[in-house]
Structure 1
Amino acid sequence: MRSNIPGNLLTTAMAVMPHTNVTRALDMALSMDVPFWPQLPNFSYTEDMYVQAAEHFPGIVLDMEKRTLRFSMDKFAEELEATLLQFDDPVYFDVSETYSAVYHRFLALDLENRPAIRGQLEGPISFGFNIIDQDDRPIIFDDTVRPFMLDFMAKRINVQLARLKRRNDNAFMFVDEPGLQFLFSAMAGYSDLKAKGDLDRFFAQVDRPRGIHLCGNPDWDFLLNLDLDVLSLDVYTNAEVFASYAASIRKFLDRGGVIVWGIVPTGFETFAQEEIPSLIQRLENVWRILWSKGIDREQMFAKSMLSPATCCLINPDKERTVERAFKAVNQMAIQLRDNYLR
């Protein structure tokens, strides 16, 4: 596994943002070393990450007025053949202007001289858990729909990545998978063994560089052993747990994997409790544990980026805390690069 994803403590961020001003959101995304196109569900329901992923998916029942996204098996059967006929059409599988106010504006920018750029799409596991059929059952349990869903999402990711690579040779993709943390609960009803097989099938079709972003706490051994180029996580919340997986982290880094350390909280109350020195200390505590367990410092920094810890759509000050968190990530990166890379 080798990729052109940069490390050396450069900054990026998750795409879901609370903004209703498209230009302001794009400016914030461009303030990071590795920019991305924002997803703005407060601006429009079509900007919701599940709704965006559902564009052209057969069987989808979208109600913009009620802001609901459901699935109909009868509608799926009616639309499947027409969708299969479109599988060689990249325009059909791309994110349309109707479903993103900012994606096509982002692609129109001069992004060639950035260290990299990034896109994203909701992953199949989370999509399958979240989309409910006419019997109130997640579609991930349907043995007819699930294989098609894996192929459909892989196609959409590849089309987007190809467009991004035309703007920057080092473009890469996040597959957003918040649902992975539920795989290991007794309530999931979808085993980690089945998920591993499905994700192997999925990633076998997905072009590199590709990785997973999630804010939850899954089985890190499971995740670190998937065929990924990058893993983006909320280390602010999951620091102690993640640090206990040093052996798998070392193998991931040895394969060329990049870790995006999500360290700055974006929630109003949590952010107010922290300062940049306390956040640096929190991150360094994790790093020291890993170094003590044999992780090579230089290798780790060469394969590390920094980001906010999570997305946050609801704060009493609306966009301001999120924007302050973006600024804090960039300030932390400057200080940490001074401390460790010079």
Structure 2
Amino acid sequence: MFIGRAFPTIVGSFPGKDHEKAVKLVLKYCPEIPCWPQLPAYPQEGMLIQFSKGLPGFNPEKLILDPTDANFEPQMLQFYEEYLAVKEAGKPVTESFFALTPEEARGLFCLKEKLAGAKPLAVKGQVTGPFTLATGLKTPDGKACFYDSTLRDIITKQVALKAAFQVDLLKELEVPVIIFLDEPALAGFGSSSFVGVSREEVLAVLGEVAEEIKARGGIVGVHVCANTEWDLLVEAGIDILNFDAFDYLDRFLLYTKDIVTLLNKKGNIAWGIIPTLKPEALKESSAESLAKQLENAFEKLTKEGSLSIQQVVEQAIITPSCGMGTLPEDLVEQALSLLKEVSSILR
């Protein structure tokens, strides 16, 4: 069981190009559950690129996987050989081509270095989720890779071992490791955006990645920065649900039965109450008003779900509504200061 105690953490992304500065801010405002920062100002840290190196037929400029490329078949063979070497032959994932490098994820290695000798409550990493990556990457004809069962399988296994690498790297710190699957595309699941995508297919890809993280001793969360079918994520075996509580609190609470199920299974809710997607709302918000929104939600859960306030708070984590990558740099500390204040009020 992971106890959140309403401590703060972040979703991941920061504006700017200074990893050291971002890590210092994380450790200043989220020392209990620090998270490594992603800086999408660097092209190699973009959501669809950062975890895609090594995919057969991957073109980072066009964001496609090309099964018609002459090199696709040998690259796919190499991919599965390396995957089996990790999964069946005991090759450490940290020594495989699924390992992230400092050039691809400088914030990860910077955070690990700064945490040497420290004992936070937990440490958090993140990876682009399999549904978002497989629907974001296309084939040359513009079709989402998710619709091709072979490409979907490759991408899912890639995400699973990119997450596994982070678990194995960060557990050297000897604290619990949380890995969030960033799944913004799940906001469109069930709509005309993804006609023909079945619930079973989504459950399968999420479940495979979640199982890999848990098998290595990690805790698996999912971040969706809008609304989605939250019951699906509970069914997929996710430990932590993270959502935009500033804009979608009422819609999330429509799933009270599933939320209660998760909490009673010792899972966590990560309440994304700091409006990092809305700079004007951020400027106008106070810690007291944001905390009050969450306190009202907590009370509703206790009434409808027969939970105690203590349980809801103990199993809460407080986050921004989404990453801060698009936020003006001069508002980052304001957002993080609000985050820490809201967390303190709730505790």
Aligned to 1:22: 19
2:43 pairs with 1:38: no
CA distance in 1, matches of 2:224, 2:292: 23
- Distance in 1 (CA, whole Å) between partners of 2:14 and 2:154 is 30
Q: What is the rounded CA distance, in whole Å, between the counterparts of 1:115 and 1:144 in structure 2?
A: 39
Match of 2:205 in 1: 198
CA RMSD in angstroms comes to 1.7
Unaligned runs of 5+ in 1: 338-342
Superposed structure 1 runs of 4+ greater than 6 Å apart = none
Give the C-alpha shift of residue 205 in structure 1. 3.1
Change (3 A) 1:124 1:202: same
Q: Who is 2:98 aligned against?
A: 93
Rounded to whole Å, the distance in 2 between the matches of 1:335 and 1:202 is: 35
Specify which of 302, 309, 324 is matched with residue 297 of structure 1. 309
Distance in 2 separating the partners of 1:154 and 1:265: 30
CA contact (8 A) 1:112 1:169 kept: no
- If the length of structure 1 is used for normalisation, what is the TM-score? 0.90
> Distance between the aligned counterparts of 1:230 and 1:118, measured in 2?
12
Structure 2 partner of 1:80: 76
Matched, 1:153 2:159: yes
Q: Do the aligned residues in 2 keep the contact of 1:70 with 1:131 (CA within 8 Å)?
A: yes
Q: Which amino acid aligns with 1:282?
A: Q
- TM-score, normalising length: structure 2: 0.89
- The 3 A distance-change label for structure 1 pair 148 and 240 is same
Q: Is residue 17–residue 313 contact of structure 1 (8 Å, CA) maintained in 2? A: yes
Q: Distance in 1 between matches of 2:80 and 2:118?
A: 34
* Cα distance, 1:262 vs structure 2: 0.8
User: 1:288 is matched with which residue?
Assistant: 299
Q: Structure 1 residue 121 and structure 2 residue 127: aligned?
A: yes
- Within a 5 Å distance, the mapping from 1:155-234 to structure 2 comes to 155-189=161-195, 190-207=197-214, 208-234=218-244
Q: Specify the SS of the correspondent of 1:52.
A: coil
2:250 alignment counterpart: 240
Q: Tell me the amino acid that sits aligned with residue 247 of structure 2.
A: T
Shift of 1:157: 0.9
How many residues in Structure 1 have an aligned counterpart in Structure 2? 327
User: Counterparts of 2:210 and 2:169 in 1: how far apart (Å)?
Assistant: 19
Q: Distance in 2 between matches of 1:225 and 1:115?
A: 27
Mapped contact 2:246–2:274 kept (Cα < 8 A) = yes
Deviation at 1:197, TM superposition (A): 3.1
AA in 2 matched with 1:236: F
Paired residues of 2:313 and 2:346 also in contact (CA < 8 A): no
Instruction: Give matches, 1:243-258, under 5 Å.
Output: 243-258=253-268
Q: Which amino acid aligns with 1:56?
A: G
> Percent of aligned pairs with the same residue?
24
Q: Which amino acid in structure 2 is aligned with residue 10 of structure 1? A: F
Tell me how far apart the structure 2 counterparts of residues 289 and 307 of structure 1 sit (CA, whole Å). Answer: 20
For 1:53, what is the secondary structure of its paired residue? Answer: coil
* Structure 1 residue corresponding to 2:145, chosen from 139, 143, 161: 139
Q: CA deviation at 1:201?
A: 3.4
Give the Cα separation in 1 of the matches to 2:272 and 2:49: 25
- Alignment partner of 1:103 is 2:70: no
Amino acid at match of 2:46: D
Distance in 2, matches of 1:50 and 1:115, equals 30
Secondary structure of the 1:324 match is helix
Are the aligned partners of 2:52 and 2:158 in contact in 1 as well (CA < 8 Å)?
Answer: no
Do the aligned residues in 2 keep the contact of 1:10 with 1:34 (CA within 8 Å)?
Answer: yes
